[in-house]
Structure 1
Amino acid sequence: MAHHQSAKKRIRQDEKKRVHNKYFAKTMRNAVRDLRAISEKEAATAEYPKVVSMIDRLAKKNLIHKNKAANLKSKLAAHISKL
Structure 2
Amino acid sequence: MANHKSALKRIRQTEVRRLRNRYYFKSARTAVKVLRNEEDKSAATEQLPKVISLLDRLAKKNIIHKNKAANLKSKLTKHVNGLA
Aligned residue-pair number: 83
* TM-score, normalised with respect to structure 2: 0.97
Alignment of 1:40-79 (within 5 A): 40-79=40-79
Quote the sequence identity (%).
60
CA RMSD, aligned part only? 0.5
The reply to whether residue 10 of structure 1 matches residue 10 of structure 2 is yes
Runs of 5+ consecutive residues of structure 1 not aligned to the other structure: none
Aligned-residue offset at 1:78? 0.7
The reply to whether residue 33 of structure 1 matches residue 14 of structure 2 is no
CA distance, structure 2, for counterparts of residue 12 and residue 62 of structure 1:
20
Aligned-residue offset at 1:82? 1.1
Runs of 4+ residues over 3 Å off in structure 1: none
* TM-score, normalised with respect to structure 1: 0.98
Partner deviation per Cα, 1:29-51 (whole Å, 9 max, x = no partner) = 00000000100111100000000
CA distance, structure 2, for counterparts of residue 12 and residue 42 of structure 1:
44
The reply to whether residue 23 of structure 1 matches residue 23 of structure 2 is yes
Helix, strand or coil at the partner of 2:2:
coil
Runs of 5+ consecutive residues of structure 2 not aligned to the other structure: none
Which amino acid is the alignment partner of residue 31 of structure 1?
A
Aligned-residue offset at 1:81? 1.2
CA distance, structure 1, for counterparts of residue 19 and residue 69 of structure 2:
21
CA distance, structure 1, for counterparts of residue 43 and residue 15 of structure 2:
37
